[in-house]
């Protein structure tokens, strides 16, 4: 199973990023979906998804797996809230997704589902948090930035190592996130065609940017 993860984890053909700011979190992704990171299947895939009023997610892996995971995740969060009469915290939401990944990847399957996820949200006390969930189910709180396991990760992290500042604002984070995705698109054949950026603050979730990138031929 570990060999299967290592073979597929960097072949998801996507670029996502989450950036922790002093007044919130910014999450962004490209729009390209590919087959094996080589053939472009869609140029309009929306990879940053708001699952409810307080949580937004973005995933790496097979598109169909990501979509199914996120639908189940949203339903499980709602079910948990109905059962307990209490809204789950962002940490609880991330741990729920981690448990889903942990159980699924250890189930015997001809085609294992390998999905990584960034999860951001705001709690009822106004705090905003970002978590990364690795394909094997590990859950980690992000204190600065993360790009999970997308094919554009090396380019994104390389840029952030030089340009990220601890006291960055959400407004600055939005622009930095755009640059991260653009940087990945320039070098990663599995990423491209557009950028979607969301912010999460104590006031709620907001779509900050939706840009189409059209190839220029000379």
Give the number of other Cβ atoms within 10 Å of residue 209's Cβ: 17
Residue range 148-155: mean pLDDT, rounded = 90
Residue 218: inside a domain: no
139 within domain boundaries:
yes
Q: Residue 65: exposed, middle, or buried by beta-carbon count in 10 A (0-12, 13-18, 19+)?
A: middle
Residue 13 has pLDDT above 80, yes or no: no
| Closest residue by Cα to residue 119 from 107, 111, 129 | 129
Q: Which of 160, 174, 172, 171 is nearest to 209 (CA)?
A: 174
Top-confidence range, 56-65, 104-113, 199-208: 199-208
In angstroms, the CA 125 to CA 87 distance is 11
> Domain of 202: which CATH number?
3.60.20.10
Q: Is 84 one of the annotated active-site residues of the chain?
A: no
pLDDT in tens, 108-146: 666 667 789 999 999 999 999 999 999 888 999 999 999
Token pair, residue 55, equals 């949580």
What secondary structure does DSSP assign to 67-109, as a single string? HHHHHHHHHHHHHHHHHHSSPPPHHHHHHHHHHHHHHHHTS--
Q: Is 7 a domain residue?
A: yes
- Choose, from 14, 34, 60, 132, the residue flagged as catalytic: 14
pLDDT in tens, 24-60: 999 999 998 887 667 787 888 889 999 999 999 999 8
Please count the structural domains in the chain. Answer: 1
pLDDT at 5 over 60: no
Give the model's pLDDT for residue 202: 95
Asked whether residue 217 is assigned to any structural domain, the reply reads no
Is the CA virtual torsion 209, 156, 96, 94 positive or negative?
A: negative
Say what the pLDDT of residue 9 is: 47
Rounded distance between C-alpha atoms, residue 53 and residue 61, angstroms: 25
Any residues with CB less than 8 A from the CB of 18 and at least 6 apart, and which? 25, 26, 27, 58, 118, 120, 130, 132, 142, 145, 146, 147
Would residue 10 count as lying in a domain? Answer: yes
Question: Is 53 part of any domain?
Answer: yes
DSSP codes joined into one string, 7-40: HHTT-S---EEEEEETTEEEEEEE--EEETTTEE
In a domain, 99, yes or no: yes
The answer to whether the beta carbons of residues 150 and 31 sit under 8 Å apart is no
Structure tokens belonging to residue 72: 């189940």
Greater confidence (107 vs 190) lies with 190
**Residue 76 backbone phi and psi in degrees, to 5:** -65, -40
The whole-number pLDDT of residue 8 equals 47
Asked if residue 25 belongs to a domain, the reply is yes
Q: Determine the average pLDDT of the residues in 197-210.
A: 95
Mean pLDDT for all residues in the chain = 87
**Which domain range does residue 137 map to?**
2-212
For residues 60-67, average pLDDT: 85
């Amino acid at each position: 199973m570990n060999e299967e993860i290592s073979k597929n984890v960097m072949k998801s053909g996507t670029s996502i990023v989450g950036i922790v700011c002093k007044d919130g979190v910014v999450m962004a992704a490209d729009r390209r979906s590919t087959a094996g990171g080589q053939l472009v299947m869609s140029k309009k895939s929306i990879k940053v998804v708001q699952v409810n009023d307080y949580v937004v997610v973005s995933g790496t892996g097979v598109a169909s797996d990501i979509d199914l995971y996120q639908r189940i995740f949203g339903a499980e969060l709602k079910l948990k809230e109905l059962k307990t009469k209490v809204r789950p915290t962002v940490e609880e939401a991330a741990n729920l997704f981690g448990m889903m990944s942990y159980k699924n990847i250890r189930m015997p399957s001809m085609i294992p589902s390998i999905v990584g996820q960034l999860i951001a949200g705001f709690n009822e006390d106004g705090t905003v948090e970002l978590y990364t969930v690795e394909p094997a189910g590990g859950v980690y709180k992000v204190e600065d930035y993360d790009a999970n396991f997308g094919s554009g990760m090396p380019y994104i992290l390389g840029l952030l190592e030089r340009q990220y500042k601890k006291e960055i604002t959400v407004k600055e984070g939005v622009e930095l996130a755009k640059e991260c995705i653009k940087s990945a698109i320039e070098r990663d054949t599995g990423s491209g065609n557009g950028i979607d950026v969301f912010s999460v603050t104590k006031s709620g979730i907001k779509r900050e940017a939706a840009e189409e990138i059209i190839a220029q031929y000379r």
